[in-house]
Structure formats: C-alpha cells, structure tokens
Amino acid sequence: MQLNGKTRVLGIFGDPVAHSLSPVMQNQALQQAGINAVYVPFHVPAELLPQAVDSIRSLGLWGVNVTVPHKEAVFPLLDDIDPAARLIGAVNTIVNSQGRLIGYNTDGLGFLRSLAEDLHFNPDGQRILLLGAGGACRAALVSLCQAGASWIGIANRTRSRAEALIQEFREIFPEVSFEHFGIDKEELRRATENIDLLANTSAVGLKGEVFADLPWVGLSKEVAIYDMVYSKTGTPLLQQAMSRGLRASDGLGMLAGQGEEAFTLWTEVRPLEGLMKRCLINELTG
C-alpha cells in the first residue's frame, strides 16, 4: 500500500473498535482493486459522535462504517437516509457525496448474500423463524420481506418485543404472514413447525451459550440453520446443526457480504468475489 497526497480515507466509527475485522478485509479489497485509499479504525466514544460525523465532511473522508453503539444515534446527524436503512432503524455505512452525508444499512443485503452463497437458500416463498428481536433481527426481517418470504416468525425471550416488531412491520409488508413466540420448549416447538430456515439474530452463542429448548428432533432434514454469531471454532448452534446433518452457516459470510456492499457504495466498484470472506477466515484461523 502506497500512501501519498491523493490517498482517500475510509474507516469505521465504533466504541470499542480495536477488535474490528473490517480494516483487514477492506484494505485487501482496496489493494486488489488498485484503488488509492486506506481504511482505518476510529475509536469514537458516544459523546463525541457529532464531532466525528462532522469530521467526515471537514477532513474529506470518502465514507465510514458505523458499528455499536452508534448505528441508531447517527440518524439525526446525516443529510439523508436510504429507505431500507430508515425501515431497519439503523445505519452501518455513511457515504460522503460531495459533502452530503448519506446513511445506508448493508447488513440486510449481506445477510441475503450469505444465505445464497453459504446455504444456497432463496427466501422467496419460504417460512423463516428468527431468534431474537433486536437490531439484527430488524435488518434480517426487512431484507427477508423484500426478498419475498411468505411467513416470518419471531421468537424472543421478551415476547412483547417480538410482538411490537411484528405490529410495526405488518402494515408495511401486508403480503407477509407474521407470528410471535416466546422461547420456552412448547413455544419453540410450535414456532419451528414446517419452517425452511431458522436464523439466530440474537447474541446467544457469543459466549458459548446454547438454545437449550430448540426442538431438533422435530425439524425437517431440509431446514437450513443460520447463526449471525461467528467464532473460530464454530458457534454451539452451528455445531449442533452440523452434528445432525443439517446445512448450516455462521455469520462470517454476512460480515463479508455487508462489507462488500459498503465497498461498492463508496467506490462504485465490486470487490473481487470471495476475497473479503477469505481474509476473515485467514484472520480468524491464522
């Protein structure tokens, strides 16, 4: 990488941010594409977010990713918000378009790309159960509805959160059937009847936790399992699914997919296919 007076700057705002794998995959993609730019992490505490966003304009940054805890707080600081990001209620990518800051959310597209590439799964006409009802669930829900899912169930420890999410989106996507559930054994048994995909959008598994009451015996052998959490050794959900011969994937492909979409928004160039995911695998296993 050759830095000079024409090098453009991209980055990621977060707190914490030192653990982020985005610089590794984004810089590899920039180098491979021959683009004179560098991607760097910026540690931005919550109270300094307004100044950090202003710096995108004042320093002429090309754009940034936004990660926790800023994905929602950044909304009022931007000039425009992409419709999908507005529906999701979170921004993870900012593009500096000649001083106008435009917010996007590429998480949903990254999720769909990973479903297609890692599980060969097309949501059109399918029945899908989402575990969790937080921000990642919103991104998945919006993308799945836009991709033609016929039924979406949301199972969450606090059932009222799942219910509120469904009430919000039922009017927006009237062609999709919605249902909410708790996460006890009987509720999950009902929730998983005849589903085509089960996706964990919660943080369960991040520290080795398991969904103790998942009714594995009742699942079809054709069901696909997706875990947005990822780890070096494979999450408990992924391990349980694969031990039962089910096709399954963790969230590494989604991380790469959202990064590819962000890269294209900034540069108007598609990164080399599969490059970002290979970088992530090498970083985790190297």
Binding residues: 20-22, 67, 92, 107, 132-136, 156-161, 228, 230, 251, 258
Q: Hunting for tokens 């994905």 — which residue is that?
A: 71
User: What is the spatial distance between Cα 57 and Cα 97, in angstroms, rounded to a whole number?
Assistant: 9
**Residue ranges at the known binding site for shikimate:** 20-22, 67, 92, 107, 230, 258
User: Which residues of the chain form beta strands (DSSP E)?
Assistant: 8-14, 37-43, 63-66, 80-81, 93-97, 100-104, 127-131, 151-155, 177-181, 197-200, 224-227, 247-250
Token pair for 228: 């947005």
**Residue ranges at the known binding site for NADP(+):** 132-136, 156-161, 228, 251
Query: Do residues 193 and 127 lie in contact, with contact meaning Cβ atoms separated by under 8 Å?
Result: no
Name the 3-class secondary structure at 179: strand
Selecting among 6, 71, 207, 221, the annotated active-site residue is 71
User: What is the spatial distance between Cα 149 and Cα 177, in angstroms, rounded to a whole number?
Assistant: 9
C-alpha torsion 108→111→112→116, nearest 10: 170
Give catalytic status of residue 71 as yes or no.
yes
Which residues does the annotation mark as catalytic? 71
